[in-house]
Structure formats: C-alpha cells, structure tokens
C-alpha cells in the first residue's frame, strides 16, 4: 500500500488499484462518491494519452457494509526497480531515459489540444493567480507553524518577475506554447521500460491546472530531479526538452517555472505534514528553499558596465555576460550600426565630433535602451557596455529598469591613469575608436557615479569578474543550476 495526500494505492499481483480519499483540500473536493467516481473516470481517460497500456479502466470496491461500491482506478503494475526516481537514487545512468522522456513529452505537446480556454491559463495574470492562490493557502496554515521562513521573499520575487513580463507570456501564447499537458510530472511516476518510458498519473482534478506552458510541464520533472539530488540531470532534461520542442524561452522563464513547481510541491508537503506524514515538514522547507534559489536566479537584471576608454569595461562586460549567459549590448557597435558602418571599421574623430557629437551619442543611447527594454520585457537579462558618463543617460537606464521591473546594477570600471594610457596606446584597431586624447578629455568632464559599484580592472580579469558577480548576485554562490538553450547563442 502507498498513500498520497489525495489517494491510497493497493499493489496486488500484476495490478494496482487506486482509491480516492474522501477529502476536501480546497483545490479539490472528493467528499462524495459521485465526485470520486468522476475523478477516477477522468484519470483513466487523461492518462491513456501518455500510457494507454497501463490504465486498464474503472473498477469497484464492494463491501457488505457500504450502500454503494467505491470506484477504483485499475492499472497494470509497473516494475518498481524501473522507476526513474529509483534509478536516480541508485546513481544509474539516466541520460538516455531522460532524452526519451523529453522526446515523448515534446511530441505530446506538439499534438496536444489547444484553444482559447487553454490559452487563457497561459497568460501572465493566470499564472499570477495560481501563485497568489498558493500564497493564500500557505498563509492560512501560519497558525499551525507550517509556513516556510522564505515565504515573504518568495512572494516579493514572484510578483516582481511577473510585473514586468506580460510581453513574454503574450509571446508564449502566440507561439502556441500553452497546451493541455500532464501537469504533475514526477520521477516516481515515470517507468523506464525496454520499449520506452511510461509516464503515469497526470493531473486530473482541475483542467485549468493542466493547461500550462509546455516548459512549465517539463519544469516539474526538472524540479523533482533536483530534489532527488541530480541537478545536472535536471538541467540536461530541460535542455533536451528545449531541443525537441524548439523552444526559444529565456533561461529566466525556465527558472521561474521550476520555482513554481517547487513551491506547489512545498504546499503539498505542508498538507501532508498536517496529516501527520513523516518527513513532510522538512520536505516543505527544502522545497521552499529550492523555489527561492530559482527565483533569485530568474530575476531579470539590467547591468550597466561603464568607465572611461581603456578602463577595461568592454572586456569585463563581455566576460560577465558570458559567465551569466545573458545578452550583451555594446554602444560602440550600435553607434556604427546606426551609421551603416561595419563594427570593425574606424570612425575615429576628435572629442565630440563625427559619430561622437552629443546628437549621435543621444541617438546611440536611445537605441541601446530601446533594445534593452524589449529584451528585459521578454525575460532576458542584459549587460550594457557603454561609458555611462552622462547622468541623464544613467537616469534613463533607471527608468527602463523600473518600467520592466528589472534589477539595476551599475559597475564603474577604473584603472590607474598609466595603465589606461598603456592600454590605449597599444590597443589594436577594433570596435572602439577612442584614443588617449579622447580618454583624457572625457576624464576631465566625467561626473561622479556614487551609486555604481567600483571595479578595479587593472589586475586579473577573473578578479574583476568575481567582484562584478558579487554585485549582480549578492546572495552568493548558492544559485540554481544554469539552464542554457542548446541551439541558440546570446546576441
């Protein structure tokens, strides 16, 4: 026998019989026989989409004392030693299995039902409502001592991410990414057989909770693999799903959905703890911590990397963007693009002349921030490489961050004057046109930038990158795994 918060399963011979508990948990109500029978029928119908040879049909449990028989879901019994969760715990090689599951899930998502009712559940506001419902359910348990300590910060990070990302969720709907999916993809419900995986136990009690972004569906299993102590397997599975589904989602959305799934499981663990399940309280806290890690990593950030010519800002900006796996935009490149000049061609001119007049500079920064706005709204963090020597331009960047609910981090690169002069005098021709004379003229007019984090770039690049990472990710090294799209490179 095995018990969950909504059902009891009996394993007998070659069959499994699943009995629904007569419980009312708020988000489901099985207190009547009619409701339990409907749930059993629905479970068989929906799960046959994923494992038609496992879900055999509806049965009944009859008792002399009962006026009506109790409905049961009847299933073919799967071998325990082929559970994905078992294989992961045993340290078995599971890459082939995860690839097969990713392909299986992506294939279903490609053919899954879609429509207006499904799309409505993929909006930013619908996801926000699901988060808020879970927050309310968690808060209602506060008097019983089950609420995780991280709840306040989780709520803040969720609301901030969603506030600035309506464009992202609208694009997901336009791309057909919202589907009638599985809704409850756990490693313990996946069986790795020789002729392919069997994926069991999809969510049946509320269609709206099964109408999800395909990436949200996949994120549930990634979350579960991480909880089983296999974060590399989690990242690998999501990468494989992204490959098979050709999904262009930004990594921030991957992390947000993993966080959502971890928080949902934390809520379930709180319910189980209230029912007296051993270890459930610790599980809820562990899952809440995982949700917080992913939410911190998913936070959309606008990072300004500024400084005078020769300060190492472009080198640091490129290294930082590469380390974070985010988009890098350069004012030097955009300036020449606007002028129709190849980036590597020289456009050198005197201070404030040619392409470096105040008018050209204003146009360049406007284009830089316009592109940053579109990326931030779509869930992409951005590093902006420019001098940022004008307070008005810095203020414009702050307004962009506020409009897109993005974190703003400013880094001001500096080196001793002799180091800057040596760099500029020996620098090969490239995207930047500034020489020692330009740097000297700019230094004489550069206003203070007190809100920026100073970064000394005169030493090893790795030291400067470490200083920058501390500013961008102040919570330290305990962030969630990096999810990278395997078939797309950052711009």
CATH number reported for the structural domain that contains residue 221 in this entry: 3.90.1200.10
User: Across-strand partners of 9?
Assistant: 2, 18
- My answer on whether 24 and 152 are in the same domain is no
Q: Which of 183, 188, 179, 278 is nearest to 224 (CA)?
A: 188
Q: What share of the chain is helix, strand, coil (3-state, %, to 5)?
A: 50, 15, 35
Q: Is position 489 within any domain? A: no
- My answer on whether 238 and 343 are in the same domain is no
Q: Is position 284 within any domain? A: yes
Q: How far apart are the first and last CA of the chain?
A: 53
Residue-wise pLDDT tens digits, 88-137? 999 999 999 999 999 999 999 999 999 999 999 999 999 999 999 999 98
Domain count, the chain: 3
- The yes-or-no verdict on residue 490 having pLDDT over 60 is no
Q: Is position 83 within any domain? A: yes
Last residue of a domain, one of 26, 47, 74: 74
Range of the domain at 180: 79-298
The model's pTM is 0.86
- My answer on whether 89 and 62 are in the same domain is no
Q: Are 436 and 447 in contact (CB under 8 A)?
A: no
- My answer on whether 207 and 154 are in the same domain is yes
- My answer on whether 314 and 169 are in the same domain is no
Q: Cα separation of 262 and 150, whole Å?
A: 13
Tokens of 290: 């995982």
DSSP structure string for 360-379: HHHHHHHHHHHHHHHHHHTT
Residue-wise pLDDT tens digits, 186-245? 999 999 999 999 999 999 888 888 999 999 999 999 999 999 999 999 999 999 999 999
- My answer on whether 95 and 70 are in the same domain is no
- My answer on whether 201 and 286 are in the same domain is yes
Measured in degrees and rounded to the nearest 5, phi and psi for residue 477 equal -90, 0
Q: Are 450 and 346 in contact (CB under 8 A)?
A: no
Q: Is position 204 within any domain? A: yes
- My answer on whether 49 and 151 are in the same domain is no
Give the number of other CB atoms < 10 A from CB of residue 198: 21
- My answer on whether 328 and 415 are in the same domain is yes
- Model confidence at 484, pLDDT cuts 50, 70, 90, reads low
Find how far residue 20's CA is from the centre of its chain. 33
The pLDDT value recorded for residue 491 is 36
Tell me how many degrees the CA angle 320-322-328 measures, rounded to the nearest 5.
Answer: 80
What integer best gives the mean pLDDT of the chain?
89
- My answer on whether 348 and 271 are in the same domain is no
Q: Is position 481 within any domain? A: no
- My answer on whether 408 and 446 are in the same domain is yes
Q: Cα separation of 29 and 18, whole Å?
A: 17
Q: Is position 292 within any domain? A: yes
The count of residues in the chain is: 491
Residue-wise pLDDT tens digits, 255-299? 999 999 999 999 888 888 888 888 888 898 899 999 999 999 999
E strand or H helix at 12: strand 7-12
Q: Which of 357, 178, 338, 356 is nearest to 257 (CA)?
A: 178
Last residue of a domain, one of 48, 74, 100: 74
The pLDDT value recorded for residue 44 is 96
457: which residues sit within 8 A by CB, 6+ positions away? 307, 311, 312, 313, 315, 316, 413, 414, 415, 464
Give the number of other CB atoms < 10 A from CB of residue 450: 8
Three-state DSSP at 408 gives: strand
- Pick the range with the lowest mean pLDDT from 22-31, 208-217, 429-438: 429-438
Q: Cα separation of 97 and 88, whole Å?
A: 11
Residue-wise pLDDT tens digits, 298-320? 999 999 999 988 888 999 999 99
Query: How far from 475 is each of 466, 478, 484, CA to CA, in Å?
Result: 13, 7, 21
Q: Is position 33 within any domain? A: yes
Tokens of 2: 């095995």
- My answer on whether 106 and 38 are in the same domain is no
Extract the runs of DSSP E, i.e. beta strands, from 77-168: none
DSSP structure string for 264-290: HHHHHHHHHHHTT-TTHHHHHHHHHHH
Last residue of a domain, one of 36, 56, 74: 74
Q: Is position 487 within any domain? A: no
CATH (domain of 368): 3.40.50.300
Q: Which of 129, 127, 227, 142 is nearest to 185 (CA)?
A: 227
């Amino acid at each position: 026998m095995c018990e969950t918060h909504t059902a009891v399963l009996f394993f007998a011979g070659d069959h499994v019989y699943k009995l629904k508990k007569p419980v009312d948990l708020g988000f489901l109500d099985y207190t009547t026989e009619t409701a339990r029978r409907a749930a059993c029928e629905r479970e068989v119908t929906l799960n046959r989409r994923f494992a038609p040879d496992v879900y055999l049909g509806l049965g009944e449990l009859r008792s002399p004392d009962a006026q009506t028989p109790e409905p049961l879901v009847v299933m073919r019994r799967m071998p325990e030693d082929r559970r994905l969760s078992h294989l992961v715990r045993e340290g078995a090689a599971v890459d082939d299995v995860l690839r097969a599951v990713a392909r299986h899930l992506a294939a279903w998502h490609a053919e899954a039902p879609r429509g207006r009712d499904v799309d409505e559940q993929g909006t930013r506001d619908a996801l926000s409502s699901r988060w808020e419902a879970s927050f309310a359910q968690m808060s209602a348990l506060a008097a019983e001592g089950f609420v995780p300590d991280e709840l306040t910060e989780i709520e803040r990070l969720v609301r901030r991410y969603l506030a600035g990302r309506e464009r992202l969720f609208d694009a997901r709907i336009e791309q057909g990414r919202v589907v009638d999916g599985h809704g409850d993809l756990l490693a313990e419900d996946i069986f790795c057989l020789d002729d392919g995986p069997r994926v069991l136990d999809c969510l049946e009690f509320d269609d709206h909770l099964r109408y999800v972004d395909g990436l949200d569906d996949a994120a549930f299993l990634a979350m579960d693999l991480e909880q089983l102590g296999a974060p590399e397997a989690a990242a690998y599975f999501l990468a494989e799903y992204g490959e098979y589904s050709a999904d262009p989602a930004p990594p921030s959305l991957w992390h947000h959905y993993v966080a959502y799934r971890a928080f949902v499981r934390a809520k379930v663990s709180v319910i189980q703890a209230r029912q007296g399940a051993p270890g459930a309280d610790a599980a809820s806290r562990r899952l809440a911590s995982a949700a917080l890690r992913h939410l911190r990593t998913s936070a959309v950030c606008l990072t300004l990397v500024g400084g005078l010519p020769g300060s190492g800002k472009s080198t640091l900006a490129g290294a930082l963007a590469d380390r974070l796996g985010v988009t890098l935009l350069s004012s030097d490149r955009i300036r020449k693009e606007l002028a129709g000049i190849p980036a590597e061609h020289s456009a050198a001119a005197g201070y404030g002349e040619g392409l470096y007049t105040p008018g050209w500079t204003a146009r360049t920064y406007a284009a830089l921030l316009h592109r940053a706005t579109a990326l931030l709204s779509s869930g992409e963090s951005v590093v902006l490489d420019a001098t940022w020597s004008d307070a008005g331009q810095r203020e414009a960047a702050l307004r962009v961050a506020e409009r897109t609910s993005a974190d703003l981090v400013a880094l001001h690169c500096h080196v001793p004057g002799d180091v800057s002069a040596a760099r500029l005098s020996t620098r090969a021709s490239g995207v930047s046109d500034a020489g020692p004379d330009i740097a000297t003229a700019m230094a004489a007019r550069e206003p203070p930038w007190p809100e920026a984090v100073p970064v000394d770039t005169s030493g090893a690049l790795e030291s400067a990158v470490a200083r920058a990472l501390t500013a961008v990710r102040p919570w330290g090294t305990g962030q969630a795994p990096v999810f990278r799209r395997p078939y797309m490179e950052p711009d």
